[in-house]
Structure 1
Amino acid sequence: MIATIAADPAVGAHPVSIKRGYRFELVKLVSQWRIRLLVLACWIAPALFVAAVSQQSSLPVDTLFGRWMHATGWAGPLVTLGFAGTWALPLLTSVVAGDVFASEDRLGTWRHLLVAVRSPRRIFAAKALSSLTVILLLVAGLACSSTAGGVLAVGNHPLVGLDGHLLTPGDAAGQTLLAWVCVLAPTLALGAIGLLGSVALGRSPMGLLLPALVALAMQLAQMLPLPVALRVALPGYAFIAWNGLFTSPMQRGPLLIGIVVSLVWAVTATALAYLLFVRRDFTNLAVDGSGRRAVTVGVLPLVGVLAVTVGVVAATTPATGSGIEQDKVQRSVATAFAHLYRMQTAQLHRPDVTEAQLSATATCNKGGGKLAAEGPGNDWRCVVSWHLPDVEAAGTAIYQLDVTPDGRFVADGDGPKEVNGYFLVRTPTGDAPNPLWQFDGNVELFPTTKG
Structure 2
Amino acid sequence: MTATVTVDNVAAARPVSVPRGYRFELVKLVSQWRIRLLVLACWIAPALFVAAVSRQSTLPSDTLFGRWMHATGWAGPLVMLGFAGTWALPLLTSVVAGDVFACEDRLGTWRHLLVAVRSPRRIFVAKALASLTVILLLVAGLACSSTAGGVVAVGDQPLVGLDGHLLAPADAAVKVLLAWVCVLAPTLALAGIGLLGSVTLGRSPMGLLLPALVALAMQLAQMMPLPAAVRLALPSYAFIAWNGLFTSPAQLGPLLIGIVVSLLWAVTATVLAYVLFVRRDFTNLTYDGAGRRAVTAGVLPLAGLVAVTVGVVATTTGATGSGIEQDKVQRSLATAFAHLYRLQTQQLNRPAVTETQLKATATCDKGSVRVAAEGPGNDWRCVVSWHLPGVEATGRAIYQLDVTPDGRFMADGDGPKEVNGYFLVRTPAGDAPNPLWQFDGNVELLAASKG
TM-score after normalising by structure 2: 0.97
**1:81-130 superposed Cα distances (whole Å, 9 cap, x missing partner):** 00000000000000000000000000000000000000000000000000
Residue 164 (str. 1) matches residue 164 (str. 2): yes
**1:8-30 superposed Cα distances (whole Å, 9 cap, x missing partner):** 66x42100000000000000000
Distance 2:222 2:430 in 1: 42
1:327 maps to: 327
Residue 392 (str. 1) matches residue 392 (str. 2): yes
Kindly provide the amino acid, as one letter, of the partner of residue 318 in structure 1. Answer: G
Alignment of 1:366-377 (within 5 A): 366-377=366-377
Kindly provide the amino acid, as one letter, of the partner of residue 79 in structure 1. Answer: V
Residue 440 (str. 1) matches residue 440 (str. 2): yes
2:312 maps to: 312
Residue 130 (str. 1) matches residue 130 (str. 2): yes
2:244 maps to: 244
Query: Contact (CA 8 Å) 2:326, 2:365: kept in 1 or not?
Result: yes
2:146 maps to: 146
Residue 72 (str. 1) matches residue 72 (str. 2): yes
Between stretches 135-144 and 440-449, larger displacement belongs to 440-449
Residue 253 (str. 1) matches residue 268 (str. 2): no
Query: Contact (CA 8 Å) 1:348, 1:428: kept in 2 or not?
Result: no
2:277 maps to: 277
Shift in Å, 1:78: 0.2
Shift in Å, 1:449: 6.8
Residue 214 (str. 1) matches residue 189 (str. 2): no
Shift in Å, 1:77: 0.2
2:100 maps to: 100
Distance 1:433 1:4 in 2: 90
1:54 maps to: 54
2:187 maps to: 187
Gaps of 5+ in 2: none
Aligned partner of residue 418 in structure 1, secondary structure: helix
2:378 maps to: 378
Aligned partner of residue 380 in structure 1, secondary structure: strand
Relative distance call for 1:122 and 1:4 in structure 2 (3 A) is farther
1:232 maps to: 232
Query: Contact (CA 8 Å) 2:91, 2:211: kept in 1 or not?
Result: yes
Aligned partner of residue 411 in structure 2, secondary structure: strand
Query: Contact (CA 8 Å) 2:120, 2:277: kept in 1 or not?
Result: yes
Shift in Å, 1:353: 0.4
Relative distance call for 1:360 and 1:3 in structure 2 (3 A) is farther
Query: Contact (CA 8 Å) 1:397, 1:414: kept in 2 or not?
Result: yes
Query: Contact (CA 8 Å) 1:143, 1:180: kept in 2 or not?
Result: yes
Between stretches 377-386 and 427-436, larger displacement belongs to 427-436
Shift in Å, 1:448: 2.4
1:45 maps to: 45
What percentage of aligned pairs have identical amino acids?
84
Distance 1:75 1:424 in 2: 20
Aligned partner of residue 76 in structure 1, secondary structure: helix
Q: What is the RMSD of the two structures over their aligned residues, measured on CA atoms?
A: 1.7
Distance 1:407 1:447 in 2: 13
Aligned partner of residue 38 in structure 2, secondary structure: helix
Query: Contact (CA 8 Å) 2:85, 2:183: kept in 1 or not?
Result: yes
Distance 2:296 2:13 in 1: 37
Aligned partner of residue 363 in structure 1, secondary structure: strand
Aligned partner of residue 401 in structure 2, secondary structure: strand
**1:200-221 superposed Cα distances (whole Å, 9 cap, x missing partner):** 0000000000000000000000
1:13 maps to: 13
Aligned partner of residue 419 in structure 1, secondary structure: helix
Query: Contact (CA 8 Å) 1:280, 1:289: kept in 2 or not?
Result: no
Kindly provide the amino acid, as one letter, of the partner of residue 253 in structure 2. Answer: G
Aligned partner of residue 352 in structure 1, secondary structure: coil
Shift in Å, 1:236: 1.1
Relative distance call for 1:371 and 1:15 in structure 2 (3 A) is same
Distance 2:428 2:293 in 1: 71
Query: Contact (CA 8 Å) 2:412, 2:438: kept in 1 or not?
Result: yes
Distance 2:305 2:250 in 1: 28
**1:218-251 superposed Cα distances (whole Å, 9 cap, x missing partner):** 0000000000000000011100000000000000
Query: Contact (CA 8 Å) 1:234, 1:306: kept in 2 or not?
Result: yes
**1:398-426 superposed Cα distances (whole Å, 9 cap, x missing partner):** 00000000000000000111111214247
Query: Contact (CA 8 Å) 1:25, 1:126: kept in 2 or not?
Result: yes
TM-score after normalising by structure 1: 0.97
Relative distance call for 1:267 and 1:59 in structure 2 (3 A) is same
**1:358-410 superposed Cα distances (whole Å, 9 cap, x missing partner):** 00000000033331000000000000000000001011100000000000000
Between stretches 221-230 and 287-296, larger displacement belongs to 287-296
Query: Contact (CA 8 Å) 2:251, 2:449: kept in 1 or not?
Result: no
2:401 maps to: 401
Kindly provide the amino acid, as one letter, of the partner of residue 147 in structure 1. Answer: T
1:351 maps to: 351
Distance 2:71 2:429 in 1: 16
Between stretches 330-339 and 281-290, larger displacement belongs to 281-290
Query: Contact (CA 8 Å) 1:348, 1:427: kept in 2 or not?
Result: no
Distance 1:63 1:110 in 2: 46
Distance 1:427 1:190 in 2: 42
Residue 299 (str. 1) matches residue 288 (str. 2): no
2:175 maps to: 175
1:88 maps to: 88
Query: Contact (CA 8 Å) 1:368, 1:381: kept in 2 or not?
Result: no
Shift in Å, 1:2: 9.0
Shift in Å, 1:427: 8.6
Relative distance call for 1:4 and 1:15 in structure 2 (3 A) is farther
Shift in Å, 1:287: 1.3
State the number of aligned residues. Answer: 448
Gaps of 5+ in 1: none
**1:50-94 superposed Cα distances (whole Å, 9 cap, x missing partner):** 000000000000000000000000000000000000000000000
Aligned partner of residue 282 in structure 2, secondary structure: coil
2:199 maps to: 199
Shift in Å, 1:4: 5.9
Aligned partner of residue 364 in structure 1, secondary structure: strand
1:113 maps to: 113
Relative distance call for 1:430 and 1:416 in structure 2 (3 A) is farther
2:32 maps to: 32
Relative distance call for 1:300 and 1:360 in structure 2 (3 A) is same
